[in-house]
Amino acid sequence: MHPAIPHLIELQRVDHQIAVFRSELESFPKRIREADTKLTGARGEVASAKEALAQVASERRKFEFEAQEWKDRVRKYRDQSSAVKTNDAYRALQHEIANAEAEIAKAEDRQLEVMMKAEDAERRLKLADSRLKEADQSLAAEKKTMEAQAAEIKKKLEAAAAEREKIIAPVPEDLRDLYTRIAKRRGGTAMAQVRDEQCRGCGLRVLPHIVQELRSETSEEVYRCESCGLILYTLEPVPYAKPADGSANAASPASTN
């Protein structure tokens, strides 16, 4: 196995960690937006409750105004009744007074209904205010927690990036380029372990003599899987088995193309 392979194995491990850390950091803005959405919903409930209460108050003022108008008419009709000179005119005024008093009763009944609606609207507003306060406090605590988590992940990311620089330092430039190209094409993975004579990247069989080369401390070759193109390595002791004549290689030395 090429002497740089152990470094590339470690490099992939660290790169996977870095990818996880970056993914976690990128998730925080979304999580904050989701938390903000909950708060926006709570604010909407408060606004709706306030609007309902304002509408009830408007209805109450309307019925109070109507009742007062009818009361003013009753006073006017009674003042007029003392000055009428005929029975017909008097009876007509009494009829108007009775009608106005009936309207007053209707308006007052409506006022009572509206007062009950107002009590319900006030309860809704109080509950919505309480929920908004809870949501606001929860969001503040959640943001504080996420900020602490993000700060910790940033530290880990910085440490992993520093470790990466140390790991990659002894790797030849051509192998760095090869590793980078493969990882870019394969979603961040450039290395595949060979276990039980199989490439764990795709499952293709790797011939024993290739496995033996991978285990050799003196080998200077870098082998790639002919199927998935990942750089092969092995960590297990595998007995050498001479391949049958005419068999095809399942892995080939890496090229920089």
- The ranges assigned to domains in the chain are 14-167, 173-252
- Reference 19, options 168, 169, 177, 183; nearest CA is 183
Residue 34 has pLDDT above 70, yes or no: yes
- Contact assessment for residue 169 and residue 79, using Cβ atoms and an 8 Å cutoff: no
Q: What pLDDT is recorded for position 251?
A: 56
At the topology level, CATH places domain 14-167 in: Helix Hairpins (1.10.287)
Q: What is the pLDDT of residues 186-204, one digit of tens each?
A: 999 999 999 988 999 999 9
Residue 229: closest CA among 196, 189, 197, 177: 189
Tokens 């051509």, residue? 174
Cross-strand pairs, 233: 193
Cα 4 from Cα 75, distance rounded (Å): 107
**pLDDT tens, residue by residue, 224-240:** 999 999 999 998 654 43
User: Beta strands 223-225 and 191-195: pairing type?
Assistant: unpaired
pTM of the model: 0.64
Note the pLDDT tens digit of each residue in 206-224: 998 899 898 888 888 999 9
Tell me whether residue 218 is exposed, middle or buried, using C-beta atoms within 10 angstroms of its C-beta: 0 to 12, 13 to 18, 19 or more: exposed
- Position 237 scores a pLDDT of 54
Residue range 90-112: mean pLDDT, rounded: 87
